[in-house]
Amino acid sequence: MLLLEDHRGATPLVSSAAPAVYMGALTAGRLIVQALPRIPLKVMYLVAGVGGGAGIALAGLGGTVLISMVGFAVTGLALGPLVPALLSRSAADDPSGTLVWGVSTISYTGFVVSPLLVAGLSGWLGLPVALAALGLLGLPLVARFAVERS
């Protein structure tokens, strides 16, 4: 990752571990939630919004390789359980599949657009701040937590 190599002084080998740290934490988050008693979707909105937003901000603004890696791990842990829970809830609430299609489309669009957003912002703000700015995308999830009825 350019952030770790160019802004934190990490070697290419260490910086290449960042996606694995994120994906490993994403998987761990999903497995942990599966092992726990049912967690309300409302709580998952809050955890994903606050934890995911704070984690990616920490990854971008953390001053060391270790702090940035912790930020990527926190982001994965917080976001991991939400998408499967949303897909499950969508499938249960709409047998036609329209909600599942919508949730999938939005999540994949975010996956494709977020690197372009960071690239565009990094020319203006610098890469660390541009990456941290992705944390603001957690605010709609926090807002959803505030208005969700349970």
Q: Give the Cα separation of 136 and 142 in Å (integer).
A: 10
Over range 89-99, report the average pLDDT.
81
**pLDDT band for position 38 (50/70/90)?**
confident
Spell out the alpha helix ranges (H) of 1-150. 2, 8, 12-15, 18-35, 41-46, 53-61, 65-79, 82-93, 98-125, 127-133, 139-147
42: left (phi over 0), alpha (psi -120 to 50) or beta: alpha
From first CA to last CA, the distance across the chain in angstroms is 39
pLDDT at residue 41 greater than cutoff 80: yes
Print burial letters for 29-45: b (CB count within 10 Å at least 16), e (below 16): bbeebeeeeeeebeebb
**pLDDT band for position 143 (50/70/90)?**
confident
**Residue 99: which of 49, 56, 107, 136 has the closest Cα?**
107
